[in-house]
Amino acid sequence: AQRVTQPEKLLSVFKGAPVELKCNYSYSGSPELFWYVQYSRQRLQLLLRHISRESIKGFTADLNKGETSFHLKKPFAQEEDSAMYYCALKGNQGGKLIFGQGTELSVKP
Amino acid sequence: GAVVSQHPSWVICKSGTSVKIECRSLDFQATTMFWYRQFPKQSLMLMATSNEGSKATYEQGVEKDKFLINHASLTLSTLTVTSAHPEDSSFYICSARGPANEKLFFGSGTQLSVL
Say what the pLDDT of residue B68 is: 95
Is residue B109 within 8 angstroms of chain A, CB to CB? yes
Contact B46 A95 (CB under 8 A): no
Please list the pLDDT of chain B residue by residue as tens digits (115 residues): 678 999 999 999 999 999 999 999 998 888 889 999 998 777 899 999 988 888 899 999 999 999 999 988 889 999 999 999 999 999 999 999 876 767 788 999 999 999 9
Instruction: Return all residues near B99 (Cβ < 8 A) that are at least 6 apart.
Output: B2, B28, B29
pLDDT tens digits for range A14-61: 999 999 999 999 988 788 899 999 998 888 899 998 877 778 899 999
By the 10 Å C-beta count (0-12 exposed, 13-18 middle, 19+ buried), B7 is classed as: middle
* Chain A closest-CA separation from residue B33 CA (Å): 9
* Chain A closest-CA separation from residue B20 CA (Å): 20
Q: Are B31 and B56 in contact (CB under 8 A)?
A: no
The residue among A8, A46, A98, A103 with the most chain B CBs within 10 A of its CB, best to mutate, is A46
Of A96, A103, A35, A92, nearest to A63 by C-alpha is A35
